[in-house]
Amino acid sequence: MKVSLSWLADYVELPDDADLVVAALADLGLPVEERWATGPVPGVVTARVVRTERHPDAAKVQRVWVDAGDGLERHVWCGASNFAAGDVVPLATLGTEMPDGRVISARGILGIDSDGMLCSARELGLGSDHSGILVLPADSPLGVTYGDAVGLATDTVVDIDITRNRPDAYGVVGVARDLAAHFGVPLRLPDATVVVNGPARSVPVTIVDGDRCGRFTTVVLSGIAVGPGAGWMATRLQAVGQRPINNVVDVSNYVMLELNQPNHTYDLDLLRGAALRVRVARAGESLVTLDEVTRELTADDLLICDGDDVAVGLAGVMGAENSAISATTDTVALEVAWFEPGGIGATVSRIGLRSDASTRFERGVDPYGPDRAAARFVELLAETCPDLVVHAGAVDERAASLPSPQRQTTLRVAEVERIVGVPLAAAEITALLDPIGFTTTPASVDGEAPGDGDGGGGGEAPGVLRVELPSWRPDCNTEIDVIEEVARHYGYARVPRLVPLSPLHGHLTAAQQRRRALRRTLVGLGLSEVLPNAFLAAADVERAGLGIDTSAEPPEVLRITNPIVHGEDVLRPSLRPGLLGAIALNANRRRPGVALFEIGHVYRPGPGELPDEREWVAIALAGREAPAAVEVWRAVAEAMGIGARIDQGRPPAGLHATRAATLLAGRDTLGVVGEVAPEVLAAYDIDERVAVVELDLSGVLKAEPKAARWRPTSKHPSSDLDVAFVLADDVPAEKLEKAIRQGAGALLNGVELFDAYRGESLGEGRRSLAYRLRLQALDRTLSDADVAAVLQAVTAAAAKLGAERRG
Amino acid sequence: MISDIDAARAEALAQISAATTTTELDAVAAALNGKRAPLAVLKTGLGALATPDDKKLAGQALNAAQQAVATELTGRRHELVASERARRVEAERLDLTEFVRPARRGHLHPVTQAWERLEDVFVGLGFTVAEGPEVESDWYNFEALNMSPDHPARNEFDTLFVDHRGAPPGTTVLRTHTSPVQIRAMLTAAPPLYLVAPGRVFRRDTPDATHMPVFHQIEGLVVDRGITLGHLAGTIQAFTEAFFGPGFESRLRPSYFPFTEPSAEFDIRTPSGDWLELGGCGMVHPDVLRAGGVDPAEWSGFAFGFGIDRMASERHAVGDLRDMYVGDIEFAEQF
């Protein structure tokens, strides 16, 4: 909401320093988002046009010589030609900073300098007129600031961000009331009595749908001469971004902005039946609003209709063309009403039409404000309409939805301290609330008010206050609402700060610590974390070959009902598409061989109250083969104290059929390891191989592995034994290693595969696997006989798998 | 005899000093210590000498010669080992600024780094860390937070809805804030509660340089006896100093949220004097405490929340938030 400080100053005495006002507004919860100065632009002076001249080589501009009062002839280039010699015009002198930020320089045309610039109204921030240079009154003195010539004073405009709980602050008076309370000065409200000076003439009102319209007042005004509005009003309106139209519209807007009371005028000669009906629209009914758009209506939209029941306005949002005032209007019916906020909000969001009026009605205007608004309207219009007649017979129709004029609540004095942390006495609370219209009285001792502690005896401070809630604060209903007002006007900054002493010991849960350990392990393995988009297109899921049918029924993926981008409507069922996308992006940017991971949630449909949502980790190694993924899996398994069987029996969807495995922990699938299938890589346009590990973390993070147990280390040297076996390709190396471990027995300290060899000499479908066994005893150095015994046992164990010792 | 000894000794010493490598010296030493070495041969001739005096003199000369040879061998060996080592060291000279393919270290995402730092600060203040689902029911995300289905404030959240068959249409959402974790925490454990809830949140926002539809927030909740607005302000200040460092100030300004009352925005002031809007906070609304099964007459509490991505982007001066989420390794490796 834009408001100028000069306007506020009509109702409240403000400090001269605008910074203090801005700071006060912030303290009151009315933060200033932006502020700017209005009024004359410094450096722009009045000048008289001496002569003009066309230049043969410049078709669109002319040369102008002006006199700025100092007798010198200044030459300027000018694109407009709406003036003649003798006219007084605004001249921006060299170095002037214009409202749009441009600084006037001598830059010329055709090598001829320009000694300044002549300005249009728009260039000076005076409305939208850019059709020509602003021509000032002919009798204006020369060489003075043009503001003096047009009666324009310097002012500051602030744009306030208004929260939903402060509908009253949509009116200048509402802001002024808060400032008056803050600075401890009186609020000077405009008068509230309509002075009747004409015969009875009424526009009767029928409220058909009383749940949607609580109050509707009309008063008939005649003797109107539609013409330009008052200059001071136009300046004010313009300063806050309202375009001046004519005296009637300007007054209507001014009253709305001042008192937060939208209002509407109907040309009474055009209003059929000279009566108004307020009803919801019928199905199929439509209305052409003032912006010349045909609005199709539903039974949720409230209409103002004329005596013939023909719609003349969309209640609380916008009027219609058919009864709008025109240049010849003489008599109007002034409507000031109160509409139920929720209904206006529903219409606004359905038809997407928001107006200054609807914004106010939607948040809630003062249901007991129409009288003051009508009075103010009359007072202001009389300034430009000396023959204005206010007719007797004003109508004030009320209906069920009108809020009660006597809304109240109780406030326990002790509760203020319990919530705010400041011990305030009843009198102090009253002093804070009274200036903003919350009237307090001590609650009766035998009242039902709770917590009535120390308010018993005569003369003592009451423990409970009865608070009358102001009608312009529909957001305030309960005790806590009032406590907020007390805190706000006491000042948040004055509340003493305390750090509460937590009786808990602060900690991360075991699962949270394990998540961090996992991250550290992955970073230690040279992987970098990425956070790709959680929203996918169905095509992304298909492309990754996850074995998920995105068009299946019942659905196999979870969809967003109202996606941001058409198509990006699938919540990722796997982290893999995100990582593959990131690899493709890096490859595109010539960054091959990236090693990435993500820890994040994946989502699938589920039968529960909420869908199936799990936390996974996915690791992708571009340019690496499957064993690299197994190596990462092994490192993660060791760091996290988990284990799983590498089952190559059924290759997981989307992975390389002969280079991928499922990780099985007992009968549960823990995840997958291996290489991405070539067709998937092709679909992502990835030329590198990609090795992946994916783990379901729901179990991994909850697991509580035992702490590693100490194993004594031998003081004697170890003996290494290299041994190679030839065995069939379909026997996993894992099994051979297990056999070696079993065969070697207690002397084995470690075993490592150091070579795998396939060759013709070994025969088809066979390979040689060479292991290095580290043998060691705690109590002695091993003898050749010890080593020979191990070799024999290992050979025997391997033979059971069909493995022959080589060499 | 003596002259023979002297000659043999001179010859041996000459051979030792002529050796230029330890290998040569080993060969020389083997020859000099062997049975056929001249000094050894001379020693066998001692018995043939005529007088005991001659024997004694010649024996002494022989011993001295053998001693001298042994000493010379040791000395020469030391010399040769030292010079060979020196040559090897010289030959092994490396330019340590010349290295191929430096080992790649992994990087945590800046949002994760900020997330963990924030958790650590609050753990230090005696808080625990709570989590909740990202796909959330309308009740937890809105209704329990004092936003009934027709509450106008709901419109401001730009909610993304999820087609979930386990619940009535339009009642499953991608959580718009981490506040539903407050309710889950209150329903899970009785007060006192001192917790933060970091997590991913979603809004129906078109991505641009300063907005992402998917981002991260951290929520704080304290419920205990006698908790006041003063405790909220004190906690915000304690956090500000712990997270941003000394010289940072915080302030609370009145504001509005349906789930807190009194409500506030909190700002921080950098040592250079600029105020930065950080997040929202307030005293937990009595209706919200009730929804969490907490009696507002006995307990009071405060809550606060702010964006983690914002913390990360401010810290690293990230000019375009979208860059944080495309997975470019060159982005990741900067942090």
pLDDT tens per residue, range B16-63:
999 999 999 999 999 998 888 888 888 888 888 888 888 888 889 889
Q: Tens digits of per-residue pLDDT, B95-135?
A: 888 887 767 889 999 999 999 999 999 999 999 999 999 99
Q: Are residues A692 and A723 in contact, defined by beta-carbon separation less than 8 angstroms?
A: no
Residue of B nearest to A606 (CA): B166
Cis peptide before A462 (omega within 30 of 0): no
Q: What is the mean pLDDT of residues B201-205?
A: 94
Q: Do B162 and A533 touch (CB under 8 A)?
A: no
Which residue in A498, A527, A597 is closest to B230 by CB distance?
A498
Task: Specify the pLDDT at position A127.
Answer: 57
Residue of B nearest to A482 (CA): B262
Q: Do A500 and B222 touch (CB under 8 A)?
A: yes
Q: How near does any CA of chain A get to the CA of B62, in Å?
A: 46
Strand order in A766-775's β-sheet? A748-757, A766-775, A719-728, A804-805
pLDDT interval class at A188 (50, 70, 90): very high
CB proximity under 8 Å: A 303-342 to B: 341-342
Q: Which residues of B touch A613 (CB under 8 A)?
A: 133-135
> In which element (H, E) is residue A614 found?
strand A612-622
Residue of B nearest to A359 (CA): B152
Cis peptide before B207 (omega within 30 of 0): no
Q: Do B119 and A603 touch (CB under 8 A)?
A: no
Q: What is the mean pLDDT of residues B236-250?
A: 91
Which residue in B230, B253, B255 is closest to A421 by CB distance?
B230
Greatest Cα pair distance, chain B, in angstroms, is: 134
pLDDT interval class at A454 (50, 70, 90): very low
Task: Specify the pLDDT at position A129.
Answer: 66
Query: With an 8 Å Cβ cutoff, is A420 touching chain B?
Result: yes
Q: What is the mean pLDDT of residues A656-665?
A: 95
Q: Do A606 and B103 touch (CB under 8 A)?
A: no
Token digits for A594?
Answer: 């990236």
CB proximity under 8 Å: A 342-371 to B: 342, 345, 349, 362-363
Q: What is the mean pLDDT of residues B242-262?
A: 94
- pLDDT of B197 higher than 90: yes
Q: What is the mean pLDDT of residues A392-411?
A: 95
Q: Which amino acid is at A316?
A: G
Apex A361 CA angle, A355 and A365, nearest 5: 135
CB proximity under 8 Å: A 611-670 to B: 611, 613
Token digits for A721?
Answer: 């034994």
Task: Specify the pLDDT at position B314.
Answer: 86
Of A1, A3, A44, A29, the closest CA to residue A156 belongs to: A3
- pLDDT of A455 higher than 70: no
Q: Which region among A138-142, A215-219, B8-12 has the lowest average model confidence (pLDDT)?
A: A138-142
Task: Specify the pLDDT at position A683.
Answer: 96
CB proximity under 8 Å: A 255-294 to B: none
Q: Tens digits of per-residue pLDDT, A719-734?
A: 999 999 999 998 999 8
Q: Are residues A151 and A340 in contact, defined by beta-carbon separation less than 8 angstroms?
A: no
Task: Specify the pLDDT at position A61.
Answer: 87
Best B115, B122, B134 residue to mutate vs chain A (most A CBs within 10 Å)? B134
Q: Do B119 and A497 touch (CB under 8 A)?
A: no
**Terminal CA-CA length for chain A:** 91
Q: What is the mean pLDDT of residues A514-540?
A: 96
pLDDT interval class at A445 (50, 70, 90): low
Instruction: Select the highest-mean-pLDDT range: A126-140, A698-712, A783-797.
Output: A783-797
Token digits for B118?
Answer: 């924030």
| Tally of residues, chain A | 807
Query: With an 8 Å Cβ cutoff, is A24 touching chain B?
Result: no
What is the C-alpha to C-alpha distance for residues A403 and B46, in angstroms, rounded to an integer? Answer: 139
- The residue ranking higher by pLDDT, A30 or B155, is A30
ipTM of the complex: 0.87
pTM, whole model, 2 decimals?
Answer: 0.85
Cα of A406 vs its chain's centroid, Å: 36
Which residue in A166, A422, A529 is closest to B107 by CB distance?
A529
Q: Are strands B193-202 and A595-604 parallel, antiparallel or unpaired?
A: unpaired
Q: If you count DSSP H runs as helices and E runs as strands, how many of each does chain B have, helices first?
A: 11, 10
Q: Which residues of A touch B117 (CB under 8 A)?
A: none
Task: Specify the pLDDT at position A460.
Answer: 67
Q: How near does any CA of chain A get to the CA of B255, in Å?
A: 5
Q: Tens digits of per-residue pLDDT, B133-155?
A: 999 999 999 999 999 888 878 87
Task: Specify the pLDDT at position A444.
Answer: 67
What is the C-alpha to C-alpha distance for residues B154 and B171, in angstroms, rounded to an integer? Answer: 13
Q: What is the mean pLDDT of residues B168-175?
A: 94
User: In terms of C-beta density within 10 A (0-12 exposed, 13-18 middle, 19 or more buried), how is residue A483 classed?
Assistant: buried
CB proximity under 8 Å: A 424-483 to B: 480-481, 483
Q: Which residues of B touch A26 (CB under 8 A)?
A: 253
Q: In this structure, what DSSP letter does residue A112 have?
A: B
Q: Tens digits of per-residue pLDDT, A496-507?
A: 999 999 999 999
Q: What is the percent of chain A with per-residue pLDDT over 70, rounded to a whole number?
A: 97
Which residue in B126, B131, B332 is closest to A529 by CB distance?
B332
DSSP per residue, A562-613:
S-SSTT--EE-S-SHHHHHHHHHHHHHTT--S-EEEEEEEEEE--SSSS-EE
pLDDT interval class at B318 (50, 70, 90): very high
Residue of B nearest to A421 (CA): B228
Q: Do B106 and A528 touch (CB under 8 A)?
A: yes
Residue of A nearest to B204 (CA): A564
Q: Do B235 and A525 touch (CB under 8 A)?
A: no
pLDDT interval class at B198 (50, 70, 90): very high
Question: Which residues does residue A158 pair with via DSSP β-bridges, in sequence order?
Answer: A3, A35
Task: Specify the pLDDT at position A451.
Answer: 46
